[in-house]
Amino acid sequence: MARPTIAHSTGSWLTRRRTVIWLGILLVGVAAGLGLAFYPYPPLPTVETEAARAALQIARREAAQFAPKPLAKAVTAATVMERLYAYDRSRWFRFSRLAALDQAISETQSFAEQASTEARQVRAARFEQADERRMQLESELVLLAPDVKFLPPREHGARGAYARAELALAQAADAQRRGNLALLEASIEAARRELKVTRTTLGVRYERFNDPEWRRRWQTWVNDTIAASRGGKVAIVVTKIGRRLYLLRDGQVVSEFEADFGRNALSHKVTAGDGATPEGRYRVKEKRSNGSTQWYKALVINYPNADDMKAFQASRKRGEIPPGRGPGGLIEIHGYGGKQSNWTDGCVALRDAAMDRLFAAVPVGTPVTIVGVARLPGDGKLAPDTP
């Protein structure tokens, strides 16, 4: 009867042991659970990641064109950041921050901000350069205006290019005001091309006025005319390029007037109807007051003179004169001018008030020299239309 007692005791001891073991395991589990539950896990760097994403978004808008290299660095760093952020989110337990993720976030934001800063600097510099170029082209436009205005009405090449340059620069100014860099630079480039066409065309049209032989000839005529006015006499010099008529007395310019010329003023008159103002040394052969001319008052000059007829005959022999065309005539210095354009059939037109002063100052026989361009004593010191 003793055996069952021992077996019963042994079984009870084993039962108690298993119970203790399981209670221990349970307590360890509870303690571990409570430890995990209350452990101060570092949070996901969500705020920092969102800030880096926002900086990258701004950089994409601003730096794609102006700072591509730092933007590429930011994009590469952002790729690493997003991969590490996804991994960090998937972890069951985060006992510490992921150092590689923090570094990727920092690099993404740093490179993105660097790209945005560089882009703004580059954009501002290009705006400044473009605006300086625009103002240079506008100044060039102003300088070319008198030469373009002097062209014959049918000279559409330079006039058209000049008008397109004006339009392009107006668009550039509007783009500058609106902050549209792409349109600003495109408009400036268009204006540059059109002004180049304008200069090239003007160079061809004005070639004769830059020719040394013509310039020496014209200057000789003017020097002789200045000499003829000495001793208290008067003389007239007309320069096409300056669009001026000068009244000389005793070798000095005493009055200067703005003048309009023939519609084909850049050419030397050869035939009737060519719209050109003649160049040469002439004299006033007749004075016509009101009622004797359709152009207010007028000084009729002796065109064509012997030199003009000689040149006309030579041109005819070369076959340059159309059949039935003569040299023309009735070239006057008259009123009704001041239109700021070349519109006559070949005459020189002054404002009526200027014509009054000139008409009273010169007698019949006064020398009149018309040239393309020349230097005169005191040229440019007098205001136009002032005695």
Reply yes or no on whether the pLDDT at 40 is more than 70. no
DSSP for 65-129 reads HH-HHHHHHHHHHHHHHHHHHHHHHH-S--SS--HHHHHHHHHHHHHHHHHHHHHHHHHHHHHHH
**What is d(CA 54, CA 56) in angstroms, rounded to the nearest whole number?**
5
In terms of pTM, does the model score above 0.85? no
Question: What pLDDT does 349 receive?
Answer: 95
Residue 259 Rama label (left phi>0; alpha psi -120 to 50; beta): beta
- The domain ranges of the chain are 213-371
Q: SS3 for 334?
A: strand
Q: What is the CATH number of domain 213-371?
A: 2.40.440.10
Reply yes or no on whether the pLDDT at 385 is more than 80. no
**Residue 368: count of CB within 10 angstroms of its CB:** 24
**What is d(CA 76, CA 83) in angstroms, rounded to the nearest whole number?**
11
* pLDDT tens per residue, range 130-179: 999 999 999 999 999 888 887 877 777 888 999 999 999 999 999 999 99
| Longest CA–CA separation in the chain, Å | 174
Centroid of chain to Cα 264: 30
